[in-house]
C-alpha cells in the first residue's frame, strides 16, 4: 500500500485527487455518480460576496479536444452558498475547499473570514485568475495584487489558503513566488487559458461574452510546463489543474512536481473520472516503486 | 441519476440522416437503472466517442424505454452524432441519465396535442404512451422541412402504428403529407374547437416552439415545450446551458439551466425573451 496522503498547510488530504472549481458545482449534483468522500477534496464553484448572474448565453463551445467557457462567474453569493449548498455537501463526508473571488482588495479578507467561520470548510482557494469577469487585467497577472489579496485572506483565516493562478503570464514563477511569500499554503496551476471562439461569418464571438477560458485535454502540455516551472520556484505544494483525463495524466503532473491535482473538464466527459483515476493511482504508484506519494512527486529528471 | 455501460443492440438508419440506437443491459442483469427511471422528455448524456475529439457527451431524449433497454432517435448533425452512428451491434456505450425534468401529464383535458418538428419526434413516442393512460384523446402533429426530415419510417412508423393515434404530417415543401408549417395545423385545431380543453406538448426548433407558445399561452392553454441548448455537463454543475427567462416574481429576468431546470418548460416564462434564445 502506498500512502497517498498530501499536506496542504495544516490540512491533510487522504489523496491528491480533487474536483476542480466550477466543474463539479457544489458537489452534491454528482451524488450517485461519484463518492464525494473518496476524492481528496471537492473545490466548490467560486463564490463572490454578491450573487452574480453570469454572462449571456451561449456560455460553452466545444473545440478540438477541449472547450471554451464564458460562464462569467455565475453564483448565488457566499452567504447563500454557506447556508444552502454547503451543509448537504458536508453531510456527504466530503473534504470541502471553498473557492472565492473578490473584486476590491478588502473583499478577499471578507470572503476568507466567511469561510473561516463556515463549518465544514477545510480550506479556501482564492480564484485570482477567472478570465470571465470582464476585468482588463487578471489579479494573478500582477504580483502586487496577488500579494494584497493573499495577505488579506491570510489574515482573515487560520484555515489553509490556496492561490489559484492564471496560465496567462510570461513566467509563472513570479506569481507563484508572490503568493507563497504572502502566506499561501499552496498554489493551483492553473485556471483556464484566455481564448476566442469566432463566428467568422457573423464576425462575432461564438460565446455570449467576447472571450472565454480554454480547458480540457488540449491544454495539458502547456500546463505541465507551468507546473514544472512553478514547482521549481516555490517550496509550497503546487496543485495541478489542466486537461487531466486519466491516471497517466495525473502521473505526468506528479512527476514534474505537482503534489496534488484537480479534475475539471474531465468530469463533464465522465462524471466518475476522478474515481476511476483513484482506483488506478495507488497500484500504479506501487508499481513505480513509490511507498508514498512524496517519493514520486518531482521525480522528473 | 446513473452511469451505465450499455450494449448496442442495434443502431440503424431510419431514413435520411436519422438513426435509431437500441441500448440494452447485459444478459446477467435484470434492468438498466437508467431506462427503468426514464420519464418522457428526460434525456441521457451519451459518450459518443471514447477519445478526446469529439470530447463532450451529447444529449438525447428517450425515444423508448423499458426495463432492459432504451432507444434514442437521433439525427446526424455534426461530428458527435456522426461518431455515434458508427457504433456497431455488440459494442458498449457509456451513458448517464435520466437527466432533467420531463413532460408531465395534464389532467382534466379533452385532448392532448403533441407538436413535433424534425428530430423533436424523438420524445413523442414515450409522451404519447403517457398521454394514452388518460381518457383524453391524443393527436400528433409532425412537421418538417421535407420528407427526408420525417423519421416516421421502418420501426419508428411501426411503433407509432401500434399506438393507433391520429398523426398529421406537415412539410414546408409539401414533399410529404400536408404543405406548410405544422403550427398552422395547430392554429386551426385550436380555432375550430375553441370550446375543447386542450393540453399542448411541443418539441422542435426554437422558431416552432415560439409559435406554439404564441398560439397557446395567451389563451391559458396548458403548454409544455422541450428546449435545446448546447450542453456541456448535463448535470446542472457548469451553468453553461442557461436561457433567459422571467424570474419567479415575474418582474425581472433569471437565467435557468436547460439541463436541470428543463429541458421541458412552461413557455410562459420565455415571454419577452424569445428574441434572445438562439437555435443551438
Ligand atoms: C435535452 C436535449 C435532448 C436532445 N434530444 C435529441 C434527440 O433525441 N434526437 C436528436 O437528434 N437530437 C437531440 N438533441 C440535439 C442533439 O444533442 C444535437 O444534435 C447533438 O448534440 C449535435 O452534436 P454533433 O456533434 O453531431 O453536432 P455539432 O453541431 O458538431 O455539435 C457541436 C456542439 O454543439 C452542440 N449542439 C449542436 N446542436 C445542438 C442541439 N440542437 N442541441 C444541443 N446541443 C447541440 C453539441 O452537443 C456540441 O457540443 C437534444 C438536445 C438536447 C439539449
Ligand atoms: C465550465 C467551467 C467553469 C469553471 N469555473 C471555475 C470557477 O468558478 N472557479 C475556478 O477557479 N475555476 C473555474 N474553472 C476552471 C477549472 O477549475 C480548471 O482550473 C480548468 O478548467 C482547467 O482544468 P481542466 O482542463 O481539467 O478543466 C472552470 C472551468 C470550466 C470548464
Ligand atoms: S450543461 Fe452544465 S449546467 Fe447545464
Q: What is the pLDDT along chain A (301 residues), one digit of tens a residue?
A: 789 999 999 999 999 999 999 999 888 889 889 999 999 999 999 999 999 999 999 999 999 999 999 999 999 999 999 999 999 999 999 999 999 999 999 999 999 999 999 999 999 999 999 877 767 789 999 999 999 999 999 999 999 999 999 999 999 999 999 999 999 999 999 999 999 999 999 999 999 999 999 999 999 999 999 999 999 999 999 999 999 999 999 999 999 999 999 999 999 999 999 999 999 999 999 999 999 999 999 999 8
**Any ligand 3 atom below 6 A from CB of B238:** yes
Q: How many domains does chain B have?
A: 2
- Of all protein residues, whose CA lies closest to atom 26 belonging to ligand 1? B78
The residue segments making up the domain with residue B58 are: 2-99
Q: Cβ of B32 under 8 Å from any chain A Cβ? A: no
Fold of domain A6-54+72-194+214-296 = TIM Barrel (3.20.20)
As a whole number of angstroms, the distance between CA B155 and CA A146 comes to 62
ipTM of the complex: 0.95
Q: How many whole angstroms from B71 Cα to the centroid of ligand 1?
A: 16
Do B26 and B143 lie in one domain? The reply is: no
A14-17 long-range contacts, Cβ below 8 Å, gap at least 24?
A: A14/A40, A14/A95, A15/A39, A15/A40, A15/A278, A15/A281, A16/A40, A16/A250, A16/A254, A16/A258, A16/A259, A16/A260, A16/A261, A16/A281, A16/A293, A17/A250, A17/A260, A17/A261, A17/A263, A17/A274, A17/A277, A17/A278, A17/A281
What is the Å distance from ligand 1's center to B58 Cα?
A: 6
Contact A74 B255 (CB under 8 A): yes
Q: What is the largest CA-CA distance in chain A?
A: 57
CB B97 within 8 A of CB B185: no
- Pick the residue from chain B with its C-alpha nearest to A53: B255
What's the pLDDT score for residue A137? 87
A43 at the B interface (CB within 8 A)? no
Position B58 in a domain? yes
Predicted local distance difference test score (pLDDT) of residue A301: 82
For residues B65 and B118, state if they share a domain: no
For B5, the closest chain A residue by CA position comes to: A270
In a domain, B255, yes or no: no
Query: Are residues B163 and B91 both part of a single domain?
Result: no
Residue B251 is assigned to a structural domain of this protein: no
Residue where one domain finishes, among candidates B60, B79, B99:
B99
Q: Which residue in the list A36, A41, A130, A266 is annotated as catalytic? A: A130
Query: Which residues in chain B have Cβ-Cβ distances shorter than 8 Å to A29?
Result: 235-237, 260
Is A46 part of the contact surface with chain B (CB cutoff 8 Å)?
A: no
**B130 with B268, same domain?**
yes
Amino acid at each position: 500500500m502506498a500512502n497517498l496522503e498530501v499536506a496542504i498547510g495544516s490540512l491533510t488530504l487522504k489523496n491528491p485527487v480533487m474536483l476542480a472549481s466550477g466543474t463539479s458545482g457544489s458537489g452534491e449534483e454528482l451524488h450517485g455518480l461519484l463518492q464525494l468522500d473518496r476524492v481528496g477534496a471537492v473545490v466548490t464553484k467560486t463564490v463572490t460576496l454578491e450573487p452574480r448572474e453570469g454572462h449571456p448565453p451561449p456560455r460553452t463551445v466545444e473545440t478540438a479536444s477541449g472547450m471554451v467557457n464564458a460562464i462569467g462567474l455565475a453564483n448565488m453569493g457566499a452567504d447563500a452558498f454557506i447556508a444552502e449548498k454547503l451543509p448537504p455537501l458536508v453531510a456527504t463526508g466530503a473534504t470541502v475547499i471553498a473557492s472565492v473571488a473578490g473584486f476590491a482588495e478588502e473583499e478577499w479578507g471578507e470572503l476568507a473570514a466567511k469561510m473561516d467561520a463556515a463549518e465544514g470548510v477545510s480550506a479556501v482557494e482564492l480564484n485570482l485568475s477567472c478570465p470571465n469577469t470582464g476585468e482588463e487585467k487578471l489579479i494573478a497577472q500582477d504580483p502586487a495584487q496577488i500579494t494584497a489579496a493573499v495577505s488579506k485572506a491570510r489574515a482573515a483565516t487560520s484555515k489553509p489558503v490556496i492561490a489559484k493562478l492564471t496560465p496567462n503570464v510570461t513566467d509563472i514563477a513570479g506569481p507563484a513566488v508572490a503568493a507563497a511569500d504572502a502566506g499561501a499554503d499552496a498554489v493551483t496551476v492553473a485556471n483556464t487559458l484566455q481564448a476566442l471562439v469566432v463566428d467568422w461569418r457573423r464576425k462575432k464571438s461564438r460565446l455570449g461574452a467576447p472571450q472565454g477560458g480554454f480547458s480540457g485535454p488540449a491544454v495539458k502540455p502547456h500546463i505541465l510546463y507551468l507546473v514544472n516551472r512553478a514547482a521549481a520556484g516555490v517550496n509550497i505544494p503546487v496543485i495541478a489543474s489542466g486537461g487531466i483525463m486519466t491516471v497517466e495524466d495525473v502521473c505526468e503532473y506528479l512527476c514534474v512536481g505537482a503534489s496534488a491535482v484537480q479534475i475539471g473538464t474531465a468530469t463533464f466527459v465522465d462524471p466518475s473520472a476522478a474515481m476511476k483515476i483513484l482506483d488506478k493511482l495507488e497500484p500504479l504508484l506501487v508499481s513505480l516503486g513509490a511507498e508514498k506519494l512524496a517519493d514520486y512527486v518531482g521525480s522528473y529528471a | 441519476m446513473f452511469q451505465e455501460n450499455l450494449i448496442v443492440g442495434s443502431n440503424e438508419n431510419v431514413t435520411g440522416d436519422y438513426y435509431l440506437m437500441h441500448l440494452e443491459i447485459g444478459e446477467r442483469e435484470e434492468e438498466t437503472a437508467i431506462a427503468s427511471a426514464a420519464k418522457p422528455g428526460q434525456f441521457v448524456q451519451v459518450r459518443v466517442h471514447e477519445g478526446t475529439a469529439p470530447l463532450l457527451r451529447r444529449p438525447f431524449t428517450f425515444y423508448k424505454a423499458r426495463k432492459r433497454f432504451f432507444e434514442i432517435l437521433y439525427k446526424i448533425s455534426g461530428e458527435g452524432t456522426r461518431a455515434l452512428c458508427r457504433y456497431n451491434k455488440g459494442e458498449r456505450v457509456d451513458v448517464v441519465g435520466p437527466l432533467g425534468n420531463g413532460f408531465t401529464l395534464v389532467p382534466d383535458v379533452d385532448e392532448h396535442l403533441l407538436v413535433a418538428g424534425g428530430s423533436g419526434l424523438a420524445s413523442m413516442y414515450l409522451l404519447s404512451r403517457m398521454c394514452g393512460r388518460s381518457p383524453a384523446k391524443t393527436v400528433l402533429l409532425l412537421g418538417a422541412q421535407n420528407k427526408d426530415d420525417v423519421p416516421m419510417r421502418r420501426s419508428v412508423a411501426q411503433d407509432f402504428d401500434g399506438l393507433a393515434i391520429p398523426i398529421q404530417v406537415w412539410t414546408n415543401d409539401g414533399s410529404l403529407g400536408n404543405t406548410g408549417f405544422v403550427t398552422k395545423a395547430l392554429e386551426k385545431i385550436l380555432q375550430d374547437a375553441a370550446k375543447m380543453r386542450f393540453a399542448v406538448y411541443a418539441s422542435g426548433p426554437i422558431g416552432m416552439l415560439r409559435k406554439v407558445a404564441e398560439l397557446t399561452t395567451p389563451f391559458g392553454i396548458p403548454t409544455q415545450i422541450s428546449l435545446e441548448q448546447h450542453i456541456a455537463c448535463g448535470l446542472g454543475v457548469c451553468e453553461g446551458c442557461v436561457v433567459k427567462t422571467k424570474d419567479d416574481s415575474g418582474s425581472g429576468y433569471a437565467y435557468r439551466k436547460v439541463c436541470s431546470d428543463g429541458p421541458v418548460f412552461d413557455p410562459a416564462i420565455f415571454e419577452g425573451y424569445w428574441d434572445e434564445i438562439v437555435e443551438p
